[in-house]
Structures are given as C-alpha cells and as structure tokens.
Structure 1
C-alpha cells in the first residue's frame, strides 16, 4: 500500500529520480494519446501552440515537428519535468522555438489571445478544478483558436491501482464536458479512441471569433 501511495503521489507531481523514471514510463503510455491529439487539433506549420503538463518534453518535440514554422510553449508544475524537457528540447529552446514555464495550468504566464492551438494530455485526473484550467486555455487562445483536452477513459483508468490513493480527481466525462463548454468553447465535441492505453477521450472546442 505504501508503494502504491508513493506511485500515486509521483503521478500527481513527479520529482527526483523516481519522477524521471515515472516520466519515461508515462511517455511510453501516453505518446500515442499525444499523437492522436495533435491529429485532431490539425496542427499547421505556422501554429503557435500551448501545452499544459508537458512531462518530459516528448510531446513538445512532436508538436514542434508539426509546427515547424511556429512555436511551442509548455507549462508544468514539476521541476523535474522542466529539467528533462529542457534537455530534450535544448536546441529548439536556444532558437526561441520552444518556451517552457514552471507554473500551474490555472494561472498561465501568457497574455490574452496569443496561441492558435492549446492542448493538455493525461492531466485531467490530477487537477482538482479542471474548469479553471479550461478558462485559462480559452483566455490565451486567439479567436478561432482550437483546444484539445485528452484523458484516459475513466472506467478503464480506475482499474489502475495507484489512482485509488489520495490526490486523484476522477472526474466524470459529463462534468468535464460541462466545464469545457462553460469556459466559453463552441463547436464542442468529444472523440473516443479505444486503441490507446486505457482508451482515451479527447474534448475539442473552438474560441469564437469576436469580430
């Protein structure tokens, strides 16, 4: 039980050597979720993209490959993640193509309306108030910008024993969809993928054009 609790805490906020090992494992589990999310977002070569919860930075690299003429900005609460992602994306950071911040998703260090796309993958169940994060994603998107929120299918993920420890918020899909719409997104839809680990849902929406 102590081991499960330790794993659970690391899943919520990975740190240190154990955190680095866990990030490597998590990336193997979720990189297909990330590729699927990028496909659904229809990332374009000149897009400026935001990722919340970038982990070890593997998805930052993937997004930049698709947005080769744009930029990718990442936000994370884990110092271990920042260290790993900075190393993995060192060249792109030096070129100003990747910008990484140590900050929570509910208080993004960006001005209004600066990103074409925004995404977060496999973070929804470790955020107590995902609606606050969705509102920030909405704020920093340009008009007509698109957002994607991808997370494991709840019923499948609940079978993963570490999530039974404290600190996980296994939000119901309907509640997440309501919070996403309440943040202001329009043309919302939820896609499902049963071919990835745990299965996954991806909520997609757009920020309306205010003109």
Structure 2
C-alpha cells in the first residue's frame, strides 16, 4: 500500500478508523483558518449559518457558540465525519441548534434564502466543480447574507506529499475568484493569512439586498 496515496484519499474522503485519525490530524491544520474565517464574517448571536464540509465538527461547535441564539447547519459527504461531528456536537444537536446533513455541496437540500452566513473551509481542492458549490451557497443565503470560502495557498498545499501522491483539483486563485463572482456575490474581497499551516486565502462577499 502506498501510504502517501492512502493519506491523500483520506483527506479527500475520510472513512473508517483511518479516516477518524486523519480528521483529527487535519483539524489541527484547519481550525485556525476556520476561526479566522468566522472573524471576517461578523457572526451575530442570532445568525443561521451553514458550513459545507465540516470535517470532525470542531468548527461547527465553535460557530454554534458564536451564534448562540441562532443555528448551525452542517453539510458533509463523509459518514465518518458525520459520526464524529455528531458526537462532538451532541448537546447542541439535542437542543436543535445544530443539524447535520449528508449531501454534496453542489446540491444543498434547502430552500432559497434560508441562511445568514455560508462558509466552507479547506474544501475547494477536493471539488472538481467549485463553481457549482458557490452557486448553491449563494442560493441558500438570505438577501444581504454573506459567504466565505477559505483554502490553503496553492503553491504550499500542492507540495504536500499526500497531495502530490493523490489527485487533487489544484484550482488557481484567480479562477476561484471568478467563479465566486460569477455565482452572484458582490463586494467580493480576498484576504490572506500566512500565519497558519499552508497559509490561507479567504474569499468573501455578500448577496445583494432586495430592492
């Protein structure tokens, strides 16, 4: 077994005991970018938030603490991630403040305009068509809602050995920025953080208000 390739597969789609281990390890690299993203989003206590690709649920827990009077909805495709996140957020789930769903980010099972904030962290390089996800994020946001997409610096993440061993979709920053704008977001801005592992870009913008 090529261990680097197997690690790469687990980063893309965690499953089983090895997947649980990888989710725990990955969270050490993603939680700080996730919290930085939340700081850029001006989370309000009564916000309804959706996070796409929540991993082991550590950021779901953080967001639910920030939006203590609102709700956090998580979307994942990995059963292993859902199991871990369910355990980590069991109290908030029992209080109906956190809800977890299995679905692809390109097909969100919600009506238009349900959320105040939409966030995805460390997912774009495992998605072949991130533009489809951005469009869904935009669709489910309320007017004046805000969306954020955070991901590692391409030049650093692309040199990580498991990424080199397994196929990832190493989209260029300018292409992602165009797809984000094309989804409908306005007042878009990309901010960068070189203080976290692999570095991080955060593209954020808003859905226009209803005239």
* TM-score strictly above 0.5: yes
- Deviation, 1:164, is 1.4
> For residues 150-203 of structure 1, what are the alpha-carbon distances to aligned partners after superposition, in whole Å with 9 as ceiling and x for unaligned?
000001111101111343100000000000000000000000000011100000
**Could you say which residue in structure 2 is the equivalent of 1:148?**
148
Q: 2-side partners of 1:210 and 1:28: how far apart?
A: 40
- In structure 2, what is the equivalent of residue 161 of structure 1? 161
Report what 2:56 is aligned to: 56
Match in the other structure for 1:47: 47
Alignment-derived partner of residue 138 in structure 2: 138
Q: What is the root-mean-square deviation in Å for CA atoms of aligned residues?
A: 0.8
Q: Does 2:197 correspond to 1:197?
A: yes
Q: How big is the shift at 1:16?
A: 0.2
Partner residue in 1 for 2:112: 112
Q: Distance in 2 between matches of 1:166 and 1:133?
A: 22
**Structure-2 separation of matches of 1:56 and 1:2:** 25
Matched residue of 1:25: which SS? helix
Contact 1:188 1:205 in 2 (8 A): yes
CA distance in 1, matches of 2:159, 2:6: 17
For 2:87, the equivalent position in structure 1 comes to 87
Give the distance between the partners of 2:112 and 2:84, measured in 1 at CA: 28
Q: Which runs of 5+ in 1 are unaligned?
A: none
**SS in structure 2 opposite 1:29?**
helix
Distance 2:166 2:193 in 1: 27
C-alpha distance in structure 2 between counterparts of 1:89 and 1:113, whole Å:
25
1:23 matched to 2:23: yes
List runs of 5+ in structure 2 lacking aligned partners: none
Q: Tell me how far 1:4 sits from its aligned partner.
A: 1.0
After superposing on structure 2, the runs of 4+ consecutive aligned residues of structure 1 that deviate more than 2 Å are none
Report the equivalent of 2:176.
Answer: 176
Partner of 1:126: 126
In 1, Cα distance between equivalents of 2:202 and 2:143: 21
**1:101 aligned partner:** 101
Residues 105-131 of structure 1, C-alpha deviations (whole Å, 9 max, x = no match): 000011110100000000010000000
User: What is the total number of aligned residue pairs between the two structures?
Assistant: 211
